[in-house]
């Protein structure tokens, strides 16, 4: 049975969003340099990638949880950094 896809919209005011808190213990140095949009994106991407079946090929074997956690972390980090790059331009 296919899983449902969650659609997440960025709230109008990110200042009061729970998703701008450091939910996943990102090092403070990085967390402080990101704006609320980048923080929101990190938390959203990391959370939505929890189930690797959503991201992987249907016939692929599942990864070890620690390996998948690294991929989730790196993907969320890259997305947050990309959000910051769009602000700089």
- The per-residue DSSP string of 12-54 comes to S-GGG-GGGS-TT---HHHHHHS-HHHHHHHHHHHHHTSSHHH
Tell me whether residue 46 is in a domain.
Answer: yes
| Residue 15 pLDDT | 55
Tell me whether residue 16 is in a domain.
Answer: no
Phi, psi of 50 (to 5 degrees): -60, -40
| Residue 74 pLDDT | 97
Tell me whether residue 18 is in a domain.
Answer: no
Tell me whether residue 45 is in a domain.
Answer: yes
Site of tokens 């090092």: 27
Q: Which residues of the chain have pLDDT under 70?
A: 1-18, 87-89
Tell me whether residue 39 is in a domain.
Answer: yes
- Give, to the nearest 10 degrees, the angle between helix 65-88 and helix 36-48: 150
- How many domains are contained in the chain? 1
Q: Which of 55, 63, 11, 8 is nearest to 37 (CA)?
A: 11
Range of the domain at 62: 27-88
Tell me whether residue 13 is in a domain.
Answer: no
Do residues 37 and 10 touch, judged by C-beta distance below 8 A? yes
| Residue 1 pLDDT | 55
Tell me whether residue 60 is in a domain.
Answer: yes
Other Cβ atoms less than 10 A from the Cβ of 76: the count is: 21
């Amino acid at each position: 049975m296919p899983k449902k896809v969650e659609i997440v919209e960025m709230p109008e005011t990110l200042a009061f969003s729970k998703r701008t808190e450091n939910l996943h213990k990102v090092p403070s140095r990085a967390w402080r340099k990101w704006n609320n949009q980048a923080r929101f994106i990190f938390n959203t991407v990391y959370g939505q990638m929890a189930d690797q079946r959503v991201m992987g090929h249907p016939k692929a074997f599942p990864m070890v949880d620690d390996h998948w956690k690294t991929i989730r972390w790196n993907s969320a980090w890259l997305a947050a950094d990309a959000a910051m790059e769009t602000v700089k331009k």
